[in-house]
Each structure stands twice: as structure tokens, then as C-alpha cells.
Amino acid sequence: MCGSYDHLRFEVPFVLQDQGIRSLHFTHGEVQSSMRVSHPDELQVDYTRTMMSFLLLDPRPRRITMIGLGGGSLAKFCHRHLRSAVMTVVENNPEVIALRRDFSIPDDDERLTVLADDGAVHVATVAPGSIDVLLVDGFDHTGQPPQLCSQAFYDDCRRALAPGGLLVVNLHIDHPEHDLMIRRIAASFAGNAMEVIAGERANGIVLAGRERPVTLEALHNREWASVLGTTARRQLSAEFAQIGWNARSLPTPLERQPS
């Protein structure tokens, strides 16, 4: 489903390049995405490698949906290394999509589709049980849009997941409502979730499962190493080795949190 955005105004991103690193910005104070020009498929930012930790729980997903394109780091990595997966990326800002070639994001094909749509609307209207892995990394110039961190949104995420499906959410740990967002995810998934703090300590990656246990024991699975090639394993192995030290369970909520 593609939305019409002719009546809306979007912040225009810009691109900077320094010492072989090309970056996407909405402001000069914060980097949205980074790419090494000589290796455009590599995951340059630590939190993106942490988001790939869903492979510890499901090393062979078939249907991946991502909210937020940015510079396409995760989309490019999955497209190159998860050859059996079909990926849909939903991005509401046409100005971001317009920079697709600047960041070497492949054209749409049978395994990759980039949709111009509202991420919250897409998740709310997609067929129930149709997604194996749902990655949420949607930010604009103000930070995390409220429609992508409401109780209703996280409820919709769970409904969209297939049995055994996984939600992966990137949160800024210094966001004033970080703990509220954590409690909302815990409410939607009955506490079956964990947060992993990424290496630079600025991002918390929440993993939540529908009918799939999300535990430290489950995160010790090594099957992913036999699925990925050498290049992908080399990028992820150090991050994955620290998961156990940087993960914590979410509280099982006693009551629903307001949206």
C-alpha cells in the first residue's frame, strides 16, 4: 500500500562525506545513517549490528519488514546476506527515498521492495501473521515519531507477526520516554522481550517475540553462523558475542500502559 503525501511537508535530509564515510543527516548535530563508500553493504554503526541479533533467535526468516529506510544499512545487509528472505521497507519521507542511489540501495526486485507509506498505517493494515521479522528504526528530525511508539502500534506489531515472529525496535536510551516505551512493548508481548544495549551505549535494541521465547538461553544459539557467509559473520560475531553481557529482560507488566 502506497500513501499519498502531496499535502504533507517533510524535512529535507542532506548528505555529507568525510574520509570515505558518507552520512545522512537531518541536522548537523546527529547522524541518521553512515556508509563506507568503498564497502556500501557493511554495517558501519554499532546499533545496526545489534539489530541483526534477531538472527540468534531466527537465523532463517523468510519475510522481513522494516519501518524506516534511512541510508538503507540494514536493507542492504539483509538483501546481500539473507538470500532466502523477501524484504519490504516502509519509508514515509519521499526525500529520504530520493537519496536511494546516493547510498547504493539496490533497485526493487523480487526480494526487495521500498514503499512510500506511513509505517504505523502499514503495520496496522498488513495481513495478520504475515511477517517473520519486523524491524522498527523510524526516526525523523524530531526523533522517534509518536505514532511509532504508541501502545496501539506495538499491539499492531504483535498482530502482524507470524507465530514465532520477532519484533526488533531501536530506541534511544536517553529519550525521556524510553522507560514508557519499554513498558508498552512489554505489555504488548506479555513480557516476552529483552533489551540489548548497543556498544556505544546510546541505543537500546528491544527484541520481542510472538510465541517464540526471547531469553538469554535462546540468544546463545549458534545456528546463525552456519547460515551466513564469511563476510557477514565477520561483521556480526563481535557484537553477538557481547549480547549476553548487554541484555536485560523487560518487566512483565501488571497493567496496560496508556498510549
Distance of CA 107 to the CA centre of its chain: 20
Separation between Cα atoms, residue 136 and residue 149, nearest integer Å? 10
CA atoms within 13 A on the CB side of 54: 33
Q: Which residues contact 161 (CB under 8 A, 6 or more apart)?
A: 129, 131, 132, 134, 167, 210
Known catalytic membership, residue 137: yes
CB 219 within 8 A of CB 247: yes
**Amino acid at position 76, single letter:** K
H helices present in the chain, as ranges: 46-51, 73-81, 94-97, 119-125, 151-160, 178-188, 223-227, 230-241, 243-246
- Retrieve residue 32's grid coordinates: 541518521
Distance of CA 187 to the CA centre of its chain: 20
Which position among 58, 118, 132, 137 bears the catalytic label?
137
- Retrieve residue 211's grid coordinates: 510465541
The H or E element spanning position 207 is: strand 203-209
Residues marked as catalytic? 137
